[in-house]
Amino acid sequence: MNYVETMKYLNSFGRFGIKLGLSRTSELLGLLGNPQEDFRSVHVGGTNGKGSVTAMVSNILQESGFRVGRYTSPHLDDFRERITVDGVPVSRSSLASLAGRVKPLVHEVKRSSTQPTFFEVTTAIAFKYFSERKVDYAVVEVGLGGRLDATNVINPEVSIITNIGLEHTDVLGRTIGSIAAEKGGIIKKGVPVVTAEKKREALEVLGRICRQKDAKLIKLGEYASCSNAKCDLGGCTFDLKTPHRNYYGLKVKLLGEHQVENAALAVLAAEQLGMDGRSIRSGILKTRLPGRLEIMQSRPLVVMDCAHNPPAMRALRNSLKLFKYKKLILVIGMMRDKEIGRIAKEIVPAADFVIINKPNLERAAQPEAIETEVRRYHKPTKIIGDVRSSVRYAKSIAGKDDLVLITDSIYMLSEARARRRVERLAQ
């Protein structure tokens, strides 16, 4: 298969939807020689901040001289972003070669079990790629939940659970406790767990699992303390005190106060791996991540952020104080399985004008459903279904001192950045 055929093949699995469970992934990896056993790993789960923490831990390990694989989802501009080694996306030729080798094995799994899913196949490809590239570490982001997620076949050196919120309640459960149990499913026997979670109900569940697995639970608020945090358009600086050392003037260039917590988690995880202070400081400083309060242009100021649930949208609204603007023009499109009302409640009151679109996905919410919630806040609203047209319209009505905020679904952001995606695919 060539690269175009490979992407068509991988995307064909989308019609099989989400099927949680480890049996298909385990069987597929077994047929590939269990490549996940060829490298050390770090497993990153939670509700928000997984991508940022994964990127920071990866960079810290690279700064320490290790060869590092990183597996994340979903992608923003290019599928190959999901699978990187030392920050470089898997090449087209390598991806095509791996997919070609995996394809007949997928048929074997289907005959003995059931059809593997898109995420299961891509997880197997990623782990085989990391094995063949002889990475020292792979930093692996959970796809959905944790306990039954396809990535939960690794035995990491440290597990990270960023935080726990109500998400995917139709799959993970309708209480914080039930979701904590699913996310806590990545906890392995004797493997330390780092978390920033503060809610009592969630911590009780995580604590119980850790006791059962004889795993040390390291809670950010108790084990370490952040102070003197200062954030601006250059990022955030802060001090962090841990039992191992004091870090003064740590710098993270990702925007928003919430990135201080993410960086602190990455530091604690890196300490569990024995990384030195210089590598930790440098790795965090060098971390960049598109789609996280990313400034796309100025005058008018255009910012993209992939906040897609109420807590993330709350953090985004709090981060708006970083920017100076006259009016806020909000461009938003959501998935129908999200809490549309609660998301709107967090961000719409801050807007002066709301433009609603519909990403080109079956899961996308109808604009009229979003409009119903938006109108509760008596904001001028316009539906422009096509994502790119909605962004062009927002820019056309924005004054030079206004802010155009494009947010919610990462899939919508991906469509809005279509031209950039084409440019990257051509590289």
In the chain, the percentage of residues whose pLDDT exceeds 70 is: 96
- The distance in angstroms from the start CA to the end CA of the chain is 19
Same structural domain, 298 and 279? no
**pLDDT at residue 186 greater than cutoff 90:** yes
Asked if 414 contacts 76 with a C-beta cutoff of 8 angstroms, the reply is yes
Q: Based on the fold, state whether residues 281 and 328 are members of the same structural domain.
A: no
CB atoms within 10 A of CB 227: 9
336-390 pLDDT, tens digit each: 888 899 999 999 999 999 999 999 888 899 999 999 999 999 999 999 989 999 9
Number of H helices, E strands in the chain: 17, 17
Q: In sequence order, which residues have a C-beta less than 8 Å from that of residue 163 and are 6 or more positions away?
A: 46, 47, 48, 49, 195, 196, 197, 198, 311
User: Could you report the per-residue pLDDT of 298-343, keeping only the tens digit for each?
Assistant: 999 999 999 989 999 999 999 999 999 999 999 999 998 888 999 9
Show which of 265, 285, 305 is a domain's final residue.
285
Mean pLDDT across 168-183? 80
For 2-59, how does the pLDDT look when each residue is reduced to its tens digit (9 = 90+)?
Answer: 999 999 999 998 755 677 789 999 999 999 999 999 999 999 999 999 999 999 999 9
Nearest to 131 by CA among 49, 39, 42, 212: 39
DSSP letters of 271-337?
HHTT--HHHHHHHHHT---TTSSEEEETTTEEEEE---SHHHHHHHHHHGGGS--S-EEEEEE-BTT
Is residue 272 domain-shared with residue 303, that is, in the same domain? no
State the residue for tokens 């494009």. 406
Confidence at residue 275, expressed as pLDDT on a 0 to 100 scale = 97
pTM for this one?
0.93
The boundaries of the domain holding residue 356 are 294-425
| Distance, CA of 161 to CA of 349 (rounded, Å) | 31
Same domain, 154 and 28: yes
Same domain, 108 and 249: yes
Task: Assess whether pLDDT exceeds 90 at residue 417.
Answer: no
Q: Please give the average per-residue pLDDT across 159-188, as a whole number.
A: 86
Measured distance CA(94)–CA(409) in Å, rounded: 29
130 and 277 in a single domain? The answer is: yes
Q: Which of 281, 228, 229 has the alpha carbon at shortest distance from 255?
A: 229
Both 243 and 309 in a single domain? no
Domain count, the chain: 2
Residue 244 is part of a domain; what is its CATH number? 3.40.1190.10
- Averaged pLDDT score across all residues of the chain: 93
- Mean pLDDT across 195-207: 95
The conformation of residue 361, written as its DSSP 8-state character, comes to S
What sign for the dihedral angle of Cα 380, 344, 307, 247?
positive
At 175 the three-state DSSP class reads coil
pLDDT band at 81 (very low <50, low <70, confident <90, very high): very high
Cα(112)–Cα(353) distance, integer angstroms: 54
Residues 17 and 83 in one domain: yes
As a whole number of angstroms, the distance between CA 260 and CA 170 comes to 31
CA 201 to chain centre: 24
